[in-house]
């Protein structure tokens, strides 16, 4: 990884360890390894809900005492920083791990959605955007061109719908470049960048980096990584399913390798990705 990315030590005070990534970049794999690590390295049953989930309406209602579906999107968005603070105040756990797909965003009044004062730090997982495009297309059941278009869409938001009630809270996503650059440059909290490709090369080593950053015990890292290999997770999903899979997807744990984008994307789409995201890709050593 290029040297301009800041590597800082995690703060001691904050409770939240944010596991941040653009979708289909290895976040769930890291969550499963961390869940295993926190249980001493045991295999995790992925047919059951796994820890460090994305914020949802149930938590919004629990902490705010209000019927969330009677609120407008703007009212819910404005309350996000306070929701994070409320969860931190109510937590008995010294570390709250949460998966995040949001970009690094601000409320309409200019407040950070992820308040630094309750944040221990952010682990930012990044993956070659060409591979992300192929994986996104499978995940959402869309064609490759649509996936590449999605990755260039500044206005893209997950779980914001004027059509159906979503369980997750809405997550402003932005384009792939905006997502990566926003977190790496402007998180205002300690940040640990992790590359998906490095997780593939040595998952135990990358897990240990994350565990050290978050202040977790390191002893069981190798065991947790071995219990959570991609092939293991894929086998589990084939047998018992995985509840975080999208309905349009055949399987969540699909290939788990790098370089697929260069093989499968037609040249015009490869060129489009480089044109739209080349500057950020260069920072991360992807071109």
CB of 264 to another protein, least distance (A): 24
Is residue 70 part of the contact set for another protein (CB under 8 A)?
yes
61 beta partners: none
Taking CB under 8 A as the criterion, the residue among 3, 12, 167, 231 binding another protein is: 167
Can residue 91 be called a binding residue for another protein (CB under 8 A)?
no
Contacts with another protein: how many residues (CB under 8 A)? 33
Asked if residue 161 binds another protein (CB under 8 A), the reply is yes
Using CB under 8 A as the binding rule, whether residue 62 contacts another protein is answered as: yes
Residue 22 binds to another protein (criterion: CB under 8 A): no
Q: Which residues of 234-273 are buried (b: 16+ CB within 10 A; e: fewer)?
A: bebbeeeebebeeeeeeebbbebebebbeeebeeebbebb
Q: Does 218 bind another protein (CB under 8 A)?
A: no
* Contact between 53 and another protein per CB under 8 A: no
What CA–CA distance (Å, rounded) separates 286 from 284? 6
Tokens of 161: 């719908």
How many residues are there in the chain?
Answer: 287
238 binds another protein (CB under 8 A): no
The CB density around residue 70, as the number of other CB atoms within 10 Å, is 7
Which residues are CB-contacts of 213 (< 8 A; sequence separation ≥ 6)?
10, 121, 123, 190, 192
Task: Determine, following the binding rule CB under 8 A, whether residue 64 of this chain makes contact with another protein.
Answer: yes
User: Residue 89 Cβ, how far from another protein at the closest point, in Å?
Assistant: 11
* CA gap 98, 114 in Å, rounded: 11
Q: Does 287 bind another protein (CB under 8 A)?
A: no
Q: Does 45 bind another protein (CB under 8 A)?
A: no
Residues of this chain that interact with another protein (CB under 8 A) are: 47, 56-58, 61-72, 75, 79, 82, 86, 161-167, 241-243, 245-247
């Amino acid at each position: 990884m290029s040297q301009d990315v800041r590597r800082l030590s995690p703060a001691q005070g904050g409770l939240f360890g944010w596991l941040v990534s653009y979708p289909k970049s290895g976040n769930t794999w890291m969550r499963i390894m961390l869940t295993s690590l926190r249980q001493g390295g045991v295999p995790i049953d992925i047919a059951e809900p796994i820890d460090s989930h994305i914020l949802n309406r149930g938590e919004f209602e629990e902490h705010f005492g209000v019927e969330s579906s009677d609120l407008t999107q703007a009212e819910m968005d404005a309350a996000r920083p306070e929701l994070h603070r409320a969860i931190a105040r109510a937590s008995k756990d010294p570390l709250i791990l949460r998966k995040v797909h949001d970009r690094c965003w601000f409320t309409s009044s200019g407040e950070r959605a992820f308040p630094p004062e309750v944040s221990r730090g952010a682990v930012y997982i990044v993956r070659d955007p060409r591979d992300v495009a192929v994986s996104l297309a499978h995940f959402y059941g869309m064609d490759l061109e649509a996936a590449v278009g999605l990755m260039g869409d500044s206005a893209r938001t997950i779980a914001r719908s004027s059509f159906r009630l979503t369980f997750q809270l809405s997550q402003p996503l932005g384009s792939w470049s905006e997502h990566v650059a926003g977190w790496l440059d402007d998180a205002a909290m300690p940040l640990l960048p992790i590359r998906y490709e490095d997780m593939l090369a040595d998952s135990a080593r990358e897990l240990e980096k994350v565990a050290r950053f978050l202040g977790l015990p390191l002893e069981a890292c190798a065991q947790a990584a071995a219990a959570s290999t991609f092939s293991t997770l894929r086998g589990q999903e084939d047998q018992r399913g995985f509840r975080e899979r999208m309905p349009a997807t055949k399987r969540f744990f699909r290939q788990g390798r790098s370089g697929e984008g260069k093989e499968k994307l037609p040249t015009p789409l490869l060129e489009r990705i480089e044109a739209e995201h080349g500057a950020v890709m260069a920072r991360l050593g992807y071109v």
